[in-house]
Structure 1
Amino acid sequence: MTNPLVQLQNATKQFIDGKETHSVLDAVNFSLNRGESVALTGASGSGKSTLLNVIAGFESLTDGTLLLNGIDAKTWHDPQWSLFRHQQLGVVFQQFNLLTPLNVAQNIAFPLSLSKQKWNPWCDHLVAKLEIDTLLSRHVASLSGGQQQRVAIARALAHKPSLLLADEPTGNLDQKAGLEVMQLLTEIASEGDCAIALVTHSLECAEFMQQGFHLANGQLHESQ
């Protein structure tokens, strides 16, 4: 039996505000296997984005264990985290976070260059599927919000990661464009056997995922 791709065991994350300590995650247990998709919902400030940041190594746990591919990430330093992010992790942000001096093709190819890969047939498939193949020479600042989000998805999946973290990926799009993006995101991730952890306020977006969890008062509950 293979290890889960992501496993949190009694994961606790606290923030200190003056003399007060706030627990955003309180002994959370969570696992995600290869190819699975989960939606994380909850009120603003409930810790959804913090949970993604912990998995990506952008924030560390106060207590508990994060296992990635069965390996305790607590022992990792910058080189191990960089290797994991460059080879196995894709991230889609609400604000797109594209590199504005670069054109579309250069943005998509950027994560490939970090792992010494080149543009390949998978990239051709991505841009065709996302209908941005005619935009490759355009500078990203000239694109619409929906087009920029499609570029961000292509960039996140270009290196065929085993895990995609998506933080409100449709938050800056209208409903129609948002649902189109979610449909494409789930289809492409499935083709690449990529697991998805999606943070969203949208119940419609959450329905694209196989499982749902709700975060409240530091606790993670399976959605009904």
Structure 2
Amino acid sequence: MANDSLVSLNNAVKQFTDGVEEHSVLSDCHLKIEAGSSTALMGASGSGKSTLMNIIAGFEPLNAGQLYLEGQDTTNWHDKQWSNFRIHKLGVVFQQFNLLTPLNVRQNIAFPLSLEGRGWHDWCDYLVETLGLVSLLDRHVAALSGGQQQRVAIARALASQPKLLLADEPTGNLDEQSGLEVMELLSTITNQGNTAVVLVTHSAECASFMQSRLQLINGQLYEAS
């Protein structure tokens, strides 16, 4: 049944087969994400946290169950509907960054805006200043350190002020102080732009910045203590 949640995952099942055995990643899993909320997604390595985020973004299909985005059933969505959602509503910080290496920092950050027919604006200036990227805007991303690339990936994901931000270990390549600054930024973004944040993290300290904390155990989500 549809609802008004930004994200609603109902009775979700996801399995993988390695050629010999079948592995269950999600088993009758339920998740609701409201507009403007912030959620930390925790769990052991290999528990399926990144897979869950890929399902929400439409990069991987469910084996069973339903995914609703803004009340719309995505079961029969084709490439056009998914592309429209990703361009206009979704920001993603990938674990491996996925930056466009032929481009410089400014061009990477502006790329999602160009897909919407928009250009650089004041919010971009705020992001690059907050993330310490002002002096790097003309540098090619391939010449940056891992931590710098992480910051560019975060700025790119937030440039269009998406309704939903999926962040997979966004502080993983940052030192402790920089990581805490990024978490404060994500908290601010949630409050200012009404962007819902779903954060995959192993850090209890990072998770504490989120309004709610969930743990993925044996294919199901539980409130983290």
| TM-score with structure 2 setting the length | 0.94
Match of 1:49 in 2: 50
C-alpha separation in 2, matches of 1:140 and 1:189: 27
Match of 2:118 in 1: 117
Match of 1:99 in 2: 100
What aligned pairs does 1:91-170 form with structure 2 within 5 A after superposition? Answer: 91-170=92-171
Match of 2:177 in 1: 176
Equivalent residue letter for 2:168? D
Contact 1:35 1:194 in 2 (8 A): yes
Q: Does the alignment pair 1:222 with 2:203?
A: no
CA displacement at 1:189 relative to structure 2: 3.5
C-alpha separation in 2, matches of 1:200 and 1:124: 27
CA displacement at 1:138 relative to structure 2: 1.6
Match of 2:209 in 1: 208
- Gap runs ≥5 in structure 2: none
Q: Which runs of 4+ in 1 moved over 4 A?
A: none
Contact 1:112 1:158 in 2 (8 A): yes
SS at match of 1:75: coil
Match of 1:64 in 2: 65
SS at match of 1:95: coil
Equivalent residue letter for 1:6? V
Match of 1:39 in 2: 40
SS at match of 1:67: strand
State, as a whole percentage, how many aligned pairs show the same letter: 64
| CA offsets 1:65-118 (integer angstroms, 9 cap, x no match) | 000000001120000000000000000122222112211110001111112111
- Gap runs ≥5 in structure 1: none
SS at match of 1:164: strand
What is the number of equivalent residue pairs in this alignment?
223
Alignment RMSD, CA only?
1.4
C-alpha separation in 1, matches of 2:5 and 2:105: 34
C-alpha separation in 2, matches of 1:19 and 1:126: 47
CA displacement at 1:19 relative to structure 2: 4.1
C-alpha separation in 2, matches of 1:170 and 1:72: 32
Equivalent residue letter for 1:141? A
C-alpha separation in 2, matches of 1:64 and 1:214: 20
C-alpha separation in 2, matches of 1:221 and 1:180: 28
SS at match of 1:123: helix
Equivalent residue letter for 1:199? V
CA displacement at 1:54 relative to structure 2: 0.3
Match of 1:193 in 2: 194
Q: Does the alignment pair 1:15 with 2:23?
A: no
Moved more, 162-171 or 18-27: 18-27
| TM-score with structure 1 setting the length | 0.95
C-alpha separation in 2, matches of 1:124 and 1:172: 23
Contact 2:37 2:190 in 1 (8 A): no
C-alpha separation in 2, matches of 1:17 and 1:163: 32
C-alpha separation in 1, matches of 2:146 and 2:22: 38
Contact 2:38 2:190 in 1 (8 A): no
CA displacement at 1:132 relative to structure 2: 1.5
